[in-house]
Structure 1
Amino acid sequence: MPDSGEVQPVRGANPGDSQVRVYAVAPRENANPDDIVDGFLEAMTSDDPGFSTARKYLTARAAKSWKPEQSITVLSTAPDREPADRGADPEIQGRAYPISGRMIATVDARHAYRANSPVEYAQAIHVVEETAPNGKDKEWRIDSLPPGLVLGEADFLRNYRSVNKYYFASGEDWLVADPVYIRQRQDPVTRMDPVTQTVKALLEGPTHWLRPAVDSPFPSGTELRKGVTTLTTDDQSTLKVPLNVKADRFGGEVCRRLAAQLLVTLGDLPSVRVDQVELQDVTGGAVCRLGKGQAADFEVVRDTEQDETPYFVDDDGRMMALDPGGKDVVPPEAVPGPLGRGVVRLGSVAVARDGARAAGVSKDGASLHVASIAADQEQLPAVFRSSAAAGAAHEDRLSQPSWDGRGDLWVADRAKGHQRLVVVPDGTGKWIEVRTPWLTEDTRVESLRVSADGVRIALLITREGRTTLQIGRIERENGADEQVVSVEDLQAAAPRMESVSSVSWAGPSRLVVVGREAGGVQQIRYLQTDGSTSASSVLPGLNGVLGVAAPYKETEPLIAASGNDGIVRLMPGANWQPVVKSGTGPVYPG
C-alpha cells in the first residue's frame, strides 16, 4: 500500500460484468502428470480466447483435433480426477486418469440444453511424454480426452446463459420460443459477443427437437457476413445486421419476418436494448427495418398491457374470479354465466386466452362444458364425455382442461383401458383424438398444460408409480376428413425431481413446477422447458401445495391452492399471502 504520490482516478468496472471470472494458467515447466490433468480441467472453465491456454496441456495432435464447441457435458459438480493407474508402464503406455461425476445434462453444437436424470459419468484423460519445443527435454501432455467441454454445473452457469430464439409456428403468424445457451461474455471459439452469438444461433435454425413444428422464413445458408464478431446499436437503439445474402433472396415479407424474429429474440438479452432492427444485404445496403411495435404483431400473446385475471373453483363447484393483483385482497366474485352459477358442479376449469370463454370439467370428472364468462347464457351441452365406466373414480375420468393460443381446447381422458388425449377445435367443434404413440396401457396422463403458441404441451405422466414432467411437441397435418393432431418426442423437463404434482406455464419457455427431489421436501420452482434451472429459481416455501398457476407476465402474482391455507398468492418480491380460505384448481388464461 503506497503512502505517498498523487491521487489518480480509476474507472469503475462495468456493473454488467461483475461475475467471477477464471483465467487459465499455462502448464509450468516439468509439470508432473497430475498437475497437467488438473490444470487442463481448470483451463476448460475459463474465457481464454480459442481455449489457447487449455490447448497447451495437449499434445500437438490432440490440440488440433480437440473441438470444445462440439458439445458440453454438464456434471452436478466439477469433474473428479482420480489417481492414475500406477500399474501401467508410463514409459510405454503413458498414464490414464479416470474422470468421473454425475452427468445431469448435455449441450449440443446447436446450443440446445437437454437435461437427464443424473447418471454416472466415467471417462478418462490419457497423458504421455512429448518432446518439448526445445527438442531436447520431454514434457507430459494429454493425448486423449473426452469430446467437447466437461463442466460442473456451477462453472456452466457462470459461463453460459439461457436465451430464447424465436421461430414461426408452422403455417402461422406467431412466434415460438426455442431456448438455447450462449456464452455470458465473448465466445472463446468464435470471438463473438453475446448479441452476435445470439443472432448467429438464430440464423443456424431451430433446435432439432423443435424443428418439425416451426418455420424459418429466411433462405437456406443465410449467415452473418464473414468476419462479424460484434454487433452494437446506434444512438437510436437500432441494430444493423449485415448478412451474406443478396437482397433479392430475402426481401419483402421474408425480411420483415426475420427482423421480427431478431427483435423478439434480442429482447431476452439484458445487455442490449434494441428498439429497431435493420437487415443489410451482402453489399451493405439496407433491405428492411422493423421496430418493436411492428414486431409485437407476431407475438402469440399480444395484449400484454392488460391485467391477467386468475380464477379458481370454490367449495360449491362454482368458477370464481380473483382481483388481478392489487395491493389489497379483494373478495372473489362468481363469473357470469352457467359456470359461475353452479348449474353443473365443477371440479376444474380453464380459461381461453381471450378471457371471454371458459371450460369446466364436472365434479365427477365425467363431462367437459364450455360457456361464456363475459356474459350470461344458458348451460350448453357437454362438448366431450369421458369413456370411463359408471361408478369410476374421479381420477379415472377427465383431467383439468387447457386452452392453446389457437382457441383449441385440450383434455385427457384417463379412463382405464381407454386413455387418450382429446382436442376440441375452437372449443365447440367435433373433438379429435390426438395421436399419442407413447400413451400405453401402463401410462396415465395426470394433467396437461398447452403453451400459448400451441406447439408444446406440458404433461404430468405416471408410469410405474412415479409422476414425471414431460414436454411434448404438437404437430398438425391436414387429413382427408379432419386435421390430424399428434404429440411427439416427449422430453423430461424435471429429471432431477422424484415426483411432480403440479405445473403451469409461466411465459414463453418457462414453467412453474411443484414437486420434490429424492429425499427432499416439496418445493415450488421455475424451470426452463429444456429442464435447465438455477439456484435462484426456488420460490418461497408453502405447505401442502395442491395446484399452482402462473401468469404469462412476470409482474402478476403467482396463485396456488394449499391444503392448509386455501387460495394464496405470491406477489413479485413478497411472501405468500392468503386470499381465500378454501378453493381448488387455480388457473390463469391458458
Structure 2
Amino acid sequence: MFAKKPLTLTAIVLSVALTASCTRLPTNTEPQALRPFDPQSTAAEVVAPIPGREADLLLRDFYAAGAVPAGDYEAARSYLTPAARDVWNPSESVLIVDRIDLNTQPGGNNQRRSLSVRGNVIGALEEGGAFVPEAGVYEATVELEQVGGEWRISSLPSGIIMERNELRNQYQPFNIYFAGKSSNVIVGDRRWVYSGRDSLDTVIMSLITAGPSERLAPAVENILPPDAAFTGKSDGIYEFSNMASMDTEKRTQFAGQVVWTLAMAGVSGPYKLNVDGAPILGDKEELTTDDFASMNPQTASNDVAKLYALTNGDVHEVSGGEVTRLEGELGSEGNVSSVEISSDGGVAAVLKNPDNEEEQIFAVGNLSGKKDEVLRARTISRPSFEQNSNVAWVVVDGTKVVRAVQSTDSGDIVSSEVGTPFLEDIGGEISMLRLSRTGSRAAMIIDGRLFIGIVERTRAGERSIVNVMEYATELSGAAVSVDWNPDGSLVVGTSSPDSPVKRVELDGSSVTAYPSGNINGPVVAVSAGPTMIYATDANALLQLPTTGTEYTNWREVPGLQGVRSAPVVAK
C-alpha cells in the first residue's frame, strides 16, 4: 500500500495520497528522482506562462512544463511565485499518471484559489530514466495567487507529476545494454531519455558507465571498475578512463555493449572507443556491429522461426501452408499437452498426459527421439527454455518452479528448485511462466494477473526470481497466456471480449491492444515470432503479421483452417 505523505509549504498543509494496492515487490514505493544527465548539453526549450492565463489552465500548463528537465526544470519554475520557487524540489520524485484532473475548491476569490489535483498513477521514473510500474491514486491540493496581475502557483507538493502523453511526447525509450551473467549475451535495460538533449550518444555513454538499474542489476554483470568514467567525445571518439584493470575479454564485452547500444538507438557507426587515449581493443580503431555479431540483442529477429502446432495431443510442423506430423512419439502418441522446441529443432521439452493417469509427465530430449522423464506432478506449466535449450523451466502445482538441466556430454538431467520468495507476498498460483530470450526475465501469470521478475543467478546452478512487479494492472485478472516478442515486449492473451490480445512494453510503461475485429476471448495460447504473432482463441489458431501489412484482421494459419491448435514458435 502506498503510504500517505502530508507535505507542508508556507504553513499550508497539502494532501498527497497514493492509495490502492501496490504492485511493486518488495514494497518500497519511494520513487527516485530522474535528474538531468548533463544540463550543460541540454538544448533549452522556451516554455513560459501565457499572459492572462486562467488559474486552472495555468496549472495545467505547469504540469506540461514539468516534462522539460532543462536547467533543473527552469520552465516549470517560471509558473511559481518567488517564495514557492525557493522551496519546491522537482527532483524528489517523478510520478507518471494516466491523466491529470483539476477541480477548483470552494472559497476562492480573485486573488487566491485552491485546486484539487488527481490522477491514477501508472509508474515512476527513477534516476537514470528507468520506468517502474506503480498503481495508486495521486491526490494533492495546490494553491495559486495573483502576482502582478498574473496567476502563479504559491504552494504545491515537491516532485514532478507527468501525464503519460507528456512522457511519450518529451521522452524517448532506449535500451541500454549490459553484460549477462552467462555466455556471450547482452541484456537490455530500458531507459527514457529527454528528447530535447543535444547529444543522445553522450547521454547513452553516461548511462552505460553509471551501470544497470537497481531492478535489473541481479541479472547482469557490471564489468566496469568502480572508478571507470566516460570523459567525453572528441573528434568523433568516445573517451573513457580508469579501465586499466580490465582484461581483453572484459574490454571486448564492454565494447560490444557500447556498440550495440548506440546502433540500436539509431546512432550511426563505425564507432571509435578510446581508453586513456588508446583504442579500447588495441590496434582496431573503428568498431561496427559486425565485430560483435554474436552479441546481437535481436538475433531472433533476423532468423526465420519455425512454427509448430499442437493439435489433439500430437505435434505438427507448419511451413508454407503444409502441415506435417512429427516423427516419433510427439507426432503419434496423442498424449502431448504442451511442448517447447529449440530454435535449431534439436531439443524438445514436453508435457504428456498418459492414459489412465492423473499425473502429468515432464520430459526432455531429442525432438524425434527418446525423451527422458524429469518429474511427475498433478499440474505442470508449459516448459520454457533458458537461452540454451539444454535448460528448461516449469511450474509444478502452481507454486514450485523447477529448473531442469541436461548435460551436453552425458545427457543426464539434474533438476533444482528456483527461489520464489515473492509468492509469500502476493499468494496465488503461477499458471504460466515464460523466460525472455536472454533468460534474464521471467513473465508469469498468477491468478489472471501479469507479473515480471528478474532472474538472479546467485551461483552456478542456483536461480531465484526477484524484484517482481505487476504489469498491466488494467487487465484486472483477465490475463490467460503470455509470450515474449523478439524486441523484448510481451504479447498477452486475455479473456477480455473487447481486446483479447495486448502488447505490453518491456518496462510496463505502456499497454496497447492488437486488432480485435475477428478474434474472440479467451485467448488460451499465444506465441510470437520475428514476423508473426499467433493466438488460439475460442475457435481456431490465428495469425497476425507484426509489420508491413495493410490488414488489421487476424487470419487462420494456412494449412490449419478449421483446426483449433496451440501455436509453438521454436525458441
Do they fold alike, i.e. is TM over 0.5?
Answer: yes
Structure 1 residue 432 and structure 2 residue 416: aligned?
A: yes
Distance 2:538 2:415 in 1: 34
Equivalent of 1:532 in 495, 509, 524 = 509
Following superposition, the deviation at residue 444 of structure 1 comes to: 1.0
Following superposition, the deviation at residue 349 of structure 1 comes to: 0.6
Structure 1 equivalent of residue 437 of structure 2: 452
Distance 2:384 2:144 in 1: 56
Distance 2:493 2:533 in 1: 12
The CA deviation string for residues 382-414 of structure 1, in whole angstroms up to 9 with x for no partner, is: 22211x3xxxxxxxx111111110331111112
Distance 1:303 1:108 in 2: 30
Following superposition, the deviation at residue 247 of structure 1 comes to: 5.5
The one-letter amino acid of 2:438's match is: D
CA gap 1:534/1:126 in 2 versus in 1, 3 angstroms: same
When the two structures are aligned, how many residues end up with a matched partner? 505
Secondary structure (helix, strand or coil) at the match of 2:187 reads strand
Structure 1 residue 264 and structure 2 residue 232: aligned?
A: no
CA gap 1:413/1:352 in 2 versus in 1, 3 angstroms: same
Secondary structure (helix, strand or coil) at the match of 1:82 reads strand
Equivalent of 2:446 in 461, 476, 482 = 461
> In 2, are the aligned partners of 1:171 and 1:215 still within 8 Å (CA)?
no
CA RMSD of aligned residues (A): 3.2
Which residues of structure 1 form unaligned runs of 5+?
1-20, 131-136, 324-328, 389-396
Structure 1 equivalent of residue 394 of structure 2: 411
> In 2, are the aligned partners of 1:470 and 1:490 still within 8 Å (CA)?
yes
The one-letter amino acid of 1:507's match is: P
Equivalent of 1:28 in 51, 66, 74 = 51
CA gap 1:109/1:382 in 2 versus in 1, 3 angstroms: same
> In 2, are the aligned partners of 1:23 and 1:47 still within 8 Å (CA)?
no
Equivalent of 1:352 in 307, 327, 342 = 342
Match runs of 1:469-480 below 5 Å: 469-478=450-459
Secondary structure (helix, strand or coil) at the match of 1:208 reads coil
> In 2, are the aligned partners of 1:45 and 1:155 still within 8 Å (CA)?
yes
CA gap 1:38/1:529 in 2 versus in 1, 3 angstroms: closer
Following superposition, the deviation at residue 458 of structure 1 comes to: 0.7
Following superposition, the deviation at residue 140 of structure 1 comes to: 5.3
Secondary structure (helix, strand or coil) at the match of 1:265 reads helix
Distance 2:97 2:503 in 1: 20
Distance 1:335 1:115 in 2: 43
CA gap 1:534/1:469 in 2 versus in 1, 3 angstroms: closer
Equivalent of 1:82 in 96, 103, 119 = 103
Structure 2 equivalent of residue 391 of structure 1: none
Distance 2:137 2:436 in 1: 33
> In 1, are the aligned partners of 2:301 and 2:487 still within 8 Å (CA)?
no
Following superposition, the deviation at residue 96 of structure 1 comes to: 3.9
Structure 2 equivalent of residue 63 of structure 1: 85
Match runs of 1:342-381 below 5 Å: 342=333, 345-363=335-353, 366-373=360-367, 376-377=368-369, 379-381=370-372
Structure 1 residue 384 and structure 2 residue 365: aligned?
A: no
Following superposition, the deviation at residue 569 of structure 1 comes to: 4.9
Secondary structure (helix, strand or coil) at the match of 2:382 reads coil
The one-letter amino acid of 2:309's match is: F
Distance 2:210 2:89 in 1: 18
The CA deviation string for residues 333-380 of structure 1, in whole angstroms up to 9 with x for no partner, is: 1223322232x610111112443111111136610122322xx43x33
The one-letter amino acid of 1:310's match is: L
CA gap 1:34/1:571 in 2 versus in 1, 3 angstroms: closer
Distance 1:487 1:431 in 2: 16
Structure 1 equivalent of residue 75 of structure 2: 53
Equivalent of 1:503 in 467, 476, 482 = 482
Structure 1 residue 273 and structure 2 residue 268: aligned?
A: yes
The CA deviation string for residues 423-473 of structure 1, in whole angstroms up to 9 with x for no partner, is: 1013851211222123359521111111121121111111xxxx1011112
Distance 1:311 1:72 in 2: 45
The CA deviation string for residues 545-570 of structure 1, in whole angstroms up to 9 with x for no partner, is: 3211001x3xx221222322345454
Structure 2 equivalent of residue 14 of structure 1: none
CA gap 1:47/1:204 in 2 versus in 1, 3 angstroms: closer
Equivalent of 1:490 in 454, 465, 468 = 468
Secondary structure (helix, strand or coil) at the match of 2:290 reads helix
Following superposition, the deviation at residue 509 of structure 1 comes to: 2.2
Distance 1:48 1:300 in 2: 32
Structure 2 equivalent of residue 178 of structure 1: 189
Secondary structure (helix, strand or coil) at the match of 1:224 reads strand
Distance 1:571 1:123 in 2: 42
Structure 1 residue 108 and structure 2 residue 121: aligned?
A: no
CA gap 1:455/1:85 in 2 versus in 1, 3 angstroms: same
CA gap 1:294/1:506 in 2 versus in 1, 3 angstroms: same
Which protein, 1 or 2, shows the higher relative CO under an 8 Å CA cutoff with sep ≥ 6? 2
The one-letter amino acid of 2:289's match is: K
CA gap 1:381/1:280 in 2 versus in 1, 3 angstroms: closer
Distance 1:221 1:211 in 2: 18
Distance 1:381 1:140 in 2: 75
Greater shift in the superposed pair: 100-109 or 573-582: 573-582
> In 1, are the aligned partners of 2:229 and 2:242 still within 8 Å (CA)?
no
> In 2, are the aligned partners of 1:259 and 1:278 still within 8 Å (CA)?
no
Following superposition, the deviation at residue 161 of structure 1 comes to: 2.1
> In 2, are the aligned partners of 1:548 and 1:558 still within 8 Å (CA)?
yes
Structure 1 residue 585 and structure 2 residue 554: aligned?
A: no
Structure (1 or 2) with the larger CA radius of gyration: 1
CA gap 1:304/1:426 in 2 versus in 1, 3 angstroms: farther
Structure 1 residue 126 and structure 2 residue 101: aligned?
A: no
Distance 1:493 1:123 in 2: 25
Structure 2 equivalent of residue 420 of structure 1: 400
The CA deviation string for residues 81-104 of structure 1, in whole angstroms up to 9 with x for no partner, is: 2214526x999xx65432112222
> In 2, are the aligned partners of 1:310 and 1:586 still within 8 Å (CA)?
yes
CA gap 1:196/1:523 in 2 versus in 1, 3 angstroms: farther
Structure 2 equivalent of residue 336 of structure 1: 327
Match runs of 1:210-221 below 5 Å: 210-221=216-227
Following superposition, the deviation at residue 500 of structure 1 comes to: 0.5
Equivalent of 1:307 in 304, 319, 330 = 304
Greater shift in the superposed pair: 103-112 or 35-44: 35-44
The one-letter amino acid of 1:430's match is: V
Structure 1 equivalent of residue 291 of structure 2: 294
Which residues of structure 2 form unaligned runs of 5+?
1-43
Distance 2:251 2:72 in 1: 33
Identity of aligned residues (%): 22
Distance 1:169 1:509 in 2: 15
Greater shift in the superposed pair: 104-113 or 563-572: 563-572
Distance 1:540 1:194 in 2: 37
Secondary structure (helix, strand or coil) at the match of 1:294 reads helix
Structure 1 equivalent of residue 23 of structure 2: none
Distance 1:424 1:521 in 2: 39
